[in-house]
Structure 1
Amino acid sequence: MPTAIIIGSGPNGLTAAIRLAQAGWETTVLEGSDTPGGGTRTKDLTLPGFHHDVCSAVHPMGVASPYLRSLDLESHGLKWLHPEIPLAHPITPGHAVVLYQSLSQTAAALGKDAPRYRRLFEPLVKNALDLYSDLLRPAAIPTNPLAAARFGIPAALPATLLAKYFSTPEARALFAGNAAHSVIALENPFTSAIGLMLQMSAHVGGWPIPKGGSQSITKALIKILKSLNGKIQLNTPVTKFTDLPDADAYLFDISPKNLAKICADSLPKRYLGKLNRYRHGPGVFKIDYALNAPIPWRNEACRKAGTVHVGGTIDEVAASERAAWEGKPSEHPFLLVAQPTITDPGRAPKDQHIAWTYCHVPNGCTRDMRPAIEAQIERFAPGFRDTILDAHVLNTEHMEHYNPNYIGGDVVGGVTDWRQLLTRPVSLIDPYATPNPKIFLCSASTPPGGGVHGMCGYWAAECVIKKNSNVAA
């Protein structure tokens, strides 16, 4: 039986281990922390009884992922909870644009932009399953070329340009907020891709949260791994490749730069140089709140939304993202706000709530963004500060200390501009393999990139299986 050691227990590390175990490999996951999960952990960060997600909180790609769907996480204890409204985006204090799970309802709410919205998104939603299979993988000939073209042509555009396809400030702001998940300036090519993907996904599988927090995803994956006789060892940091036990393959769910450190004596210098030149983009400044009441949004739809994009018009969103990209913290940052207790009240004591929010800041920036964040929320939810019982703050240094792979606070696995998108992590020829035939990379720094979908780990495992097909199972 071939053996594999997986370093890191994030979603990609766990899915890599599961896929190899399914193929008859003996798999062991090594995790440096005392809890598994990487970016999918839930902890009591503020007061007792308030359960916060340390990193990821809302999971449209979790329900979209072809591999996670095949694992049937729900039968292993995971329960997806869907808010009444996936997303609201306030433009003025009393007015918001709403992304409903129903495409027709969303289009109708956009007024004169309704025909254009349907024309853009209906073909994508109709072919979503094919698109997920084609887009959540390394570069390959698409299984549905027409659907891939209908997605890929607009996806290549800067978000600020594609947004002009719409005529209303509502439709433009909605798209800009979704495109801002790319974490680069919206004037860059390919920033439309994540906006299209997220809005399409809202109409296909929604933007759910896991009951009990993101740790529930990790628990379900570990349950599956153990059912396949896979093992996980906590409190086992790895600092040097040559200290690892012997195995047929080693898969690293870590950043390229950390791979270069750990494997400095086991990879060629030229390749190490490429890993060290891998670029990380803006980081995050994150706050988790314990609240004595729901956020008092002036707009009613925002009170029902699992996620709220706080940033106003497209021009305001673009200005905030451009500032972080250019190395300047925004005075009026665009915020991602999640409201888990809208749908999962058990994550806080009775009649109390939690909120999860962050903004993008320059990589490594340690400026205290809390005043600016709270001013933005107060702008659309007067009285918010009065609901705060406690807060837990993470700047970019704290994020990297929590997870050394979040270099400079970058939680998405590296810059996704056109240059690095086409060379992630160093080459498209075989993005998971390295010059050492036993060492592989399976983190979000490999295709298809960031997000809790596990597909980086899945495709890395497929690469390992293919390259070791001569190893007897």
Structure 2
Amino acid sequence: MLADVSAPALFGRLLDSSVVPAGVRADLEKFEWDTPVVKVNYALDRKIPWRSRNLESAGTVHLGADDDGLVRWMADLTTWVVPERPFLLFGQMTTSDPSRSPEGTESAWAYTHLPRGITDDESAELLAHRVDAVLESHAPGFAERVVGRNVQRPGDLEASNANLHGGAVNGGTAQLYQQLVFRPTPGSSGPYTSIDRLYLASSATHPGGGVHGMCGYNAAHAALADQGRWGWARKKVRGRILDLVATPDAQRSPRHR
């Protein structure tokens, strides 16, 4: 079974606590989500009037900040301030796929982040209006061409997909302390779990979100390898290692410390 769910959902809710190692349960209490997302969806009756004409054919555009602007944006996120001028990703869906909307129009979205822990609707709406302002500054007349606009706030994202806790879309922070062998918890060994033939296939595992498809690819390869000629040996060795790292220090025997 390849579980395409968040680590807290799998180990905290979907599995009975009796089959989840105590160390994993303890580590998940310190699990850190990534920052909440606000996504704004647009329908435009004409193409986007970019100042920079070379953006007209781009499927995805990064907007809103030069090097100094990125520093200010990150400072806002770190100090729990709703960014005044957010850095954002902007997708031109009809430019990428002409079937998305009638010829000569554009279907588009933008998304950016709120500071960690700020998920209320008022802050999300404020940030969405600031996203509009960033787009207007790069494409004067953008607002006049919008015929439909929908804001997906952190609560909306979680309501549509319970794995997007608080509007987090990355399956957990990508900081170094929760990457590689520390993702989703220390020593969790990527897609492997302590339960035979159960693999975590979501962005909760290395390499995380943004590397599209790789988490599921890794989980599928792990599952296939475990069914191969040397699968029994792989599982035996890995199980022993997982037993060691998944047991709280206080519960380990002297030979495990």
Do 2:179 and 2:207's aligned partners in 1 also have CA atoms closer than 8 Å?
Answer: no
TM-score (norm 2): 0.79
Q: Secondary structure of the residue that 2:25 maps to in structure 1?
A: helix
Question: What 5-or-longer segments of structure 2 have no aligned partner?
Answer: 233-257
TM-score (norm 1): 0.44
Do 1:281 and 1:362's aligned partners in 2 also have CA atoms closer than 8 Å?
Answer: no
- Cα distance in structure 2, aligned partners of 1:304 and 1:436: 48
- Cα distance in structure 2, aligned partners of 1:342 and 1:419: 38
Tell me the equivalent position of 1:393. Answer: 151
1:365 has 2:119 as partner: yes
* Cα pair distance change 1:267/1:428, threshold 3 Å: closer
Do 1:281 and 1:410's aligned partners in 2 also have CA atoms closer than 8 Å?
Answer: yes
- Cα distance in structure 2, aligned partners of 1:440 and 1:463: 8
State the identity %. 33
* Cα pair distance change 1:325/1:255, threshold 3 Å: farther
Tell me the equivalent position of 2:7. Answer: 256
Tell me the equivalent position of 1:12. Answer: none
1:285 has 2:44 as partner: no
Do 1:282 and 1:325's aligned partners in 2 also have CA atoms closer than 8 Å?
Answer: no
1:327 has 2:80 as partner: yes
Tell me the equivalent position of 2:48. Answer: 295
- Cα distance in structure 2, aligned partners of 1:441 and 1:462: 12
Tell me the equivalent position of 2:135. Answer: 377
Q: Which of 185, 191, 196 pairs up with 1:437?
A: 196
Q: Secondary structure of the residue that 2:169 maps to in structure 1?
A: coil
Q: Secondary structure of the residue that 1:434 maps to in structure 2?
A: coil
Tell me the equivalent position of 1:316. Answer: 69
- Cα distance in structure 2, aligned partners of 1:274 and 1:388: 46
Aligned counterparts, 1:1-40, within 5 A: none
- Cα distance in structure 1, aligned partners of 2:192 and 2:158: 25
* Cα pair distance change 1:424/1:295, threshold 3 Å: same
Deviation at 1:307, TM superposition (A): 2.0
Please tell me the root mean square deviation across aligned C-alpha atoms, in Å.
2.2
Deviation at 1:273, TM superposition (A): 2.4
The one-letter code of the counterpart of 1:365 is T
1:409 has 2:167 as partner: yes
The one-letter code of the counterpart of 1:295 is I
Do 1:321 and 1:360's aligned partners in 2 also have CA atoms closer than 8 Å?
Answer: no
Do 2:40 and 2:110's aligned partners in 1 also have CA atoms closer than 8 Å?
Answer: yes
* Cα pair distance change 1:378/1:384, threshold 3 Å: same
- Cα distance in structure 2, aligned partners of 1:385 and 1:398: 24
1:305 has 2:48 as partner: no
* Cα pair distance change 1:429/1:269, threshold 3 Å: closer
The one-letter code of the counterpart of 1:462 is H
Question: What 5-or-longer segments of structure 1 have no aligned partner?
Answer: 1-249
- Cα distance in structure 2, aligned partners of 1:430 and 1:452: 18
